[in-house]
Amino acid sequence: MSLSFLRRSPELVVGASVIALLLSGRPAQAQTAANASVTATVAQPLAVHATAPLAFGTVVPGTNKTVAVSDAAAAAFTITGNALGVVSISFTLPSTIASGGNTMPLANWTGRRNTTNNAGAGTDFTPSASAVQGSLSASGELYVFVGATAQPGASQAAGSYSGTITMTVVYF
């Protein structure tokens, strides 16, 4: 078979060459690629436990009673999670405690957080304000202590008063 027709038709040769290159499946020389790893670390779930109530004990009508954060009667909470994790701590605090239909005002909320279970030292904050940040210890713990002032009126009705402090913690 003679290929003399190729000498007369150079366009056909070039066209055939282009088609052969396209069909060869070879990528263009200017094309490059790179891969990136995809990773994730799942945080240890946070656990929050109330370990002691805020206990005013017996109050006298007309006389305020304060429980400081360093008092044994202060509310205490333990937070556990990722070592050195940063958390946001917020509170829902009662403005009163109740006994039946009677209420007694609470005020002057105080807080302290510490990476050791020691209410005598740590970082003070105001729990009635916006959320605060704290860091868990190297072993993944943070301790929070809360105090306040009970303000019984001069004619405060006798009774056993109660309410609830809610502390909410999320990773920051």
pLDDT of residue 7: 56
* Residue from 148, 140, 154 nearest 48 by CA: 140
Give yes or no for residue 28 having a pLDDT over 70. no
Distance CA 172, CA 170 (A): 6
Class of domain 47-171: mainly beta
Torsion of CA 96, 100, 101, 102, to 10 degrees: -50
What pLDDT, on a 0 to 100 scale, did the predictor assign at position 43? 87
Q: How would residue 13 be classed by pLDDT, with cut points 50, 70 and 90? A: low
Q: What pLDDT score was predicted for residue 30?
A: 82
Q: What pLDDT, on the 0 to 100 scale, is given for residue 128?
A: 76
pLDDT of residue 153: 97
Q: What is the pLDDT of residues 39-76, one digit of tens each?
A: 998 988 999 999 999 999 999 999 999 999 999 999 99
Q: Name which of 157, 118, 117, 147 is nearest 56 in CA terms.
A: 147
